[in-house]
A and B are shown apart, each in its own frame.
Chain A
C-alpha cells in the first residue's frame, strides 16, 4: 500500500507564490483583511475549538505561523450551527454511559459473588447504577429526537447523518447493557433457586434434629425469626428481579425508537453512492418544485391582475355608455 506525500512540494510552491503575491501591489486588500481578522480570529477560533475539537487539546498560540492561523480565523467566522451543542451533549452522555457501564459490570460480578457479609450494598450499587444508565439512555434518546432534520438541505443532511451515527452508538450501548443485564438476571434467579434448595435441605435436617431434642415444643422463637428473615430476603430478591425486568422493558422501548434511525448494514441504504444519489435527486426535486411554485404563483398573480383590469374596463365602458346615453 504505497502512498506518496506531496504536501512538502505543495507548500514549497504555495510559499513561493505567496511571496510573489505579497510583493505585488494588487494583493494589498488581502493583507488588510488578514490583519483585521487577526484581532477577532483567535477568539472565534477558541469558541470553535471548545465546541468541536473536544478530543484535541487546543493551544491558542499554536506553532503554526501566525498569518496562517489569522487567515483561517477570517474564514471560519461562521460559528457551527446550534444543533452541534446537542450532538456534543449526546456524545458526552454516551461517554458517561460507557464508564458507568464498566462500573456496573464490576458491581454485577461483586453482587453475584458469594460473600460472608451482607451483599446488600453491592446489590444496591447495581440498582443505582442501572437506574442511572437507563435514565441517561432515555435522556440521550429524547435529545436525539430533537435533532430532527430542518433548515437548509445540506445542513439537514449533515444533521441526519450525525443523528444516525449517534443512534447507532446508543443502540449498541443499550444492546450491550441488556445482554449483561439478562445474564445477571439469570444468575440471580439461579442463585435464588439454589438458595431455596439449600435452605430447604438445611431446614429439613435441622428440624429433625430439633424434633429429636425438644420433642413436642414445635417451632422455637429462634426458628420463627429465621423463617421471617428468609422470607424478607426472598421478597428482596423478588423486588430486585422485578426492577431489572422493568429496566429491560425500558430498554426495549428505547431500542424500538432507535431502530428507525439506525442504518441496516449490508442493505442499499448503507451504500455511499445510493445516499449521494438520493440527496442529489431530492435536491433537484425540491428545486423543480420551487420553480413550479414560483411559476404558478406568478401566473396566478398575472391572471388575477388581468381579470381585474378587464372587469374594470368593462365597468368603465358601461359607465361611459350610460353617461353618453343618459346625459
Chain B
C-alpha cells in the first residue's frame, strides 16, 4: 500500500456517500493533506462546489449546501466548530476528523449542536501529507524544536511530539497495521516519540490498533536528523531534489514569482509525480540526463505543433480540435519544465555550483584532509562563491575533520567570519555540538570499522560514475542493515517487549528533524529494486539546506537566550 492512494481513498470515501451539492471545510493543515492527493476537478466531479477554511468562514447562510468538515481534532478547531454548530449556515453537517477524538471533544460538540444538524461524526485517519507514493511529511512549522532539550521549551516540545505521534499513528491506522517500534538510542527526542507512540498503540487505544495479526509485524524506526547532518547540507543534482534545493517545493508546488519574466499562468507550478508523467519519469534523473530528456520532449512538441499549423482540409481541422485539449496540456507542461530547468541552470552558473558541489562531494565521500582543506580555502577566497555556500563548505569540513585537524578548522572559522559578519556567531560550533561525532550513532563516513573502510576503498578503486551524485545518505546503509537483519539492538533498541521476529516486509522510517528528497529518492530506488522489504519515509518537514540552516539558527538563538537567563 502506498501513502498517496491511502490518503486519496479516505478523501474519496468522505465525499461519495453524501449526495447533492456540497461544501468542503478544511483547516490550515488538512488543506495541504487534501491538496496533494486530490484535485479541484475531481472535487467538482463529486459535486463539491465550494471549499472553505474553518477559521475564515463567512456568515452567509447556504442551507442548500451540505457541509463536509475534514479537520484535525485540535482544541482550536473544536472551538471553531462549536461556534459554527450553534449557528448553522448549512443544511447538513458531516464531521470527519483526521485523528483520534477525545471523548470530551465529542461531548463539547454534542452540547453545541442544539439544532441537531450534525449527521455523522467519523474518524478518517489521513493525518499526513502524502507527497510521493513512499514519502510523507507532516508540515510542522516549528521544526527546530527537536534540537533543543525538553526543559528549554516544554510546551512547544510537547506540541512537536504530539504532532509526530499523531502523524505516525494515523499512518499505521491507515495501513491497518500495528508495528514494533525501534528508535535511535542517542537521541532523546526519538526515544520520547517512540515511547509515546508505543503507549498509544499498546495501551490507550490498543483496541483500535488490534488488527488481524500478520506473520511479521511491520517495523517503525525513529531516527534523528542529527545523525546525518551531511545530506541536507549538500547541493543536489537530481531533478526533484534540485528543484527543492534551489527553488523550494512546498506541497508539490513551486513558487516562481521571484524568478521574474515568467508568464502569468506559470507563476506557480505543480510538480506532482501523480499528475505529471514527464516529472514522474524524470524526478530521480540527474541534471544532465534531464536536459537531454527535456530536449526530446521539446522536439516532440515541435513536431506536434507543426502538424497543427498546416490545417487545410476539414479533416485536419476536426483532428486538430480533437487533439486540442491534449495539445494545450502538453504546451503547459513543456513550458513548465523548460522554465524550471532554465532558471536552475542560471542559478548554477551564477553561484558556481558545479565547482562548489564537487568539493562538497569530496568532503562527504572521500578522505584526504590536506587536499580538502586546500580546496575549501580556495573557494573561501573566491569572491563569486556565495556566503551561504561558504558556510556549508566549512560545516561539511568541520563535521568530517572535527577531531583530526582542530587547528586548521579554527583557520577556516576565522576566514568565514572575516568574509561575512553574519557567521561570527559560531553557528558551525553549534552544529558540531548538536551533531558532532560524539553524538552520532550511525557510521556516517564509513570509517569506524575495518570492514566499512575496506568497502569504501573498494568503491574508490572502482571509480564513480558521476562526481556530483556520488554521495549516498546514511539512510541507504540503515535500509541495507534492516533488509539484512543487521541493525544492532544496542544502537536501535526496541520499545517495550514487542520484538521483531524475522525480517519485516514493511518499514516506516521517521526522521525527526525532517527528510530530504535525496533520501526519498534512495527509498524509491530501493522499493523499485524490489528487495522484499518496502520502505516508507516520513518526517515533520522536507529539508533543503536553507531550511536546515534556518532551523539551526533558530535553535541556536533560543538555546543562547535560555542559557543567558
A residues neighboring B (CB under 8 Å):
1-7, 9-10, 13-14, 17-18, 21, 30, 48, 51-53, 55-56, 68, 71-72, 74-81, 84, 152-155, 157-158, 161-162, 164-165, 168, 171, 175, 178-179, 182, 245, 248-249, 251-252, 255, 259, 262-276, 280, 283
Contact = CB atoms under 8 A, between A and B. Distances in A.
Given A6-B101, A266-B275, A273-B251, A75 B32 contact: no
Contact of B176 (A2, A75, A255, A268): A2
21 contacts: A2-B173, A2-B208, A9-B106, A10-B121, A13-B111, A51-B64, A53-B20, A56-B20, A78-B64, A81-B64, A154-B50, A161-B44, A162-B49, A168-B41, A266-B329, A270-B39, A270-B40, A271-B35, A271-B40, A273-B32, A273-B253
Given A1-B9, A152-B60, A165-B49, 7 more contacts: A52-B20, A158-B49, A162-B49, A165-B47, A262-B325, A265-B41, A275-B40
Nearest to B9: A1
B60 A154 contact: yes
B211 interface: yes
Contact of B62 (A77, A155, A280): A155
Nearest to A174: B321
A2 B31 contact: no
Interface string B31-62: 11011001111011101111111001010111
B270 A271 contact: yes
Contacts of A164: 41, 44
Nearest to A11: B110
B310 interface: no
A270 B103 CA distance: 37
B332 interface: yes
Given A154-B60, A157-B50, A267 B324 contact: no
Contacts of B100: 4
Nearest to A49: B20
Contacts of A18: 116
Given A165-B45, A267-B332, A276 B53 contact: yes
A160 B537 CA distance: 39
Nearest to B53: A276
Contacts of B321: 178, 251-252, 255
Given A71-B115, A77-B63, A268-B270, A2 B125 contact: yes
B318 A272 contact: no
B31 to A, nearest CB: 5
Nearest to A162: B49
Secondary structure at chain B's binding surface: helix, strand, loop or mixed? mixed
Would you list the 5 A-B pairs with minimal beta carbon distance, nearest first? A80-B64, A13-B110, A165-B44, A161-B49, A76-B63
Given A56-B20, A152-B60, A162-B49, A272 B123 contact: no
A68 B122 contact: no
A75 B91 contact: yes
B553 interface: no
Contacts of B106: 6, 9-10, 13
B447 to A, nearest CB: 45
Contact of A271 (B9, B50, B253): B253
Contacts of B289: none
Interface residues of B, number: 83
A138 B393 CA distance: 65
Contacts of B9: 1
Contacts of B117: 72, 75
Contact of A266 (B113, B116, B276): B276
B423 interface: no
A68 B275 contact: no
Nearest to B44: A165
A118 to B, nearest CB: 28
Nearest to A34: B115
Contact of B43 (A75, A262, A272): A272
Contacts of A273: 31-32, 35, 251, 253
Contacts of A182: 318, 322
Contacts of A77: 63
B211 A276 contact: no
Contacts of B6: 1
B125 A6 contact: no
B449 interface: no
A158 B63 contact: no
Contacts of B118: 10, 14
A283 B318 CA distance: 42
Contacts of B51: 272, 275-276
B265 interface: yes
Contacts of A153: 58
Contacts of A76: 63-64, 91
Given A154-B50, A178-B318, A280-B56, A30 B40 contact: no
Given A2-B174, A271-B35, A259 B123 contact: no
A76 B208 CA distance: 38
B125 to A, nearest CB: 6
Contact of B31 (A81, A251, A272, A283): A272
B122 A268 contact: no
A148 to B, nearest CB: 15
Contacts of A162: 21, 49
A78 B268 contact: no
B64 A1 contact: no
B328 to A, nearest CB: 7
Identify the interface centre among A14, A17, A18, A248: most chain B CB within 10 Å of its CB: A14
Contacts of B173: 2
A64 to B, nearest CB: 10
A97 B10 CA distance: 33
Nearest to B64: A80
Interface string B307-349: 0000000100110011011001100110000000000000000
B253 A268 contact: yes
B378 interface: no
B466 to A, nearest CB: 30
A52 B21 contact: yes
Interface string B14-29: 0000011101001000
A52 B64 contact: yes
A268 B268 contact: yes
Contacts of A179: 322
A183 to B, nearest CB: 11
A10 B109 contact: yes
A108 to B, nearest CB: 17
B114 A48 contact: no
A9 B121 CA distance: 9
B281 to A, nearest CB: 15
Contacts of A266: 39, 270, 272, 275-276, 329, 332-333
Given A13-B110, A268-B265, A268-B268, A263 B31 contact: no
Contacts of B41: 164, 168, 263, 265, 270
A7 B32 CA distance: 26
A74 B88 CA distance: 11
B324 A259 contact: yes
A249 B316 CA distance: 12
A12 B111 CA distance: 11
B39 A30 contact: no
B324 A255 contact: yes
A274 B32 CA distance: 10
Given A178-B322, A266-B276, A78 B31 contact: no
Given A10-B106, A77-B63, A270-B41, A55 B328 contact: no
Given A152-B60, A259-B324, A271-B270, A4 B208 contact: yes
Contact of B114 (A21, A51, A52): A21
Given A268-B270, A270-B39, A84 B64 contact: yes
Most buried by B among A17, A171, A178: A17
A265 B275 contact: yes
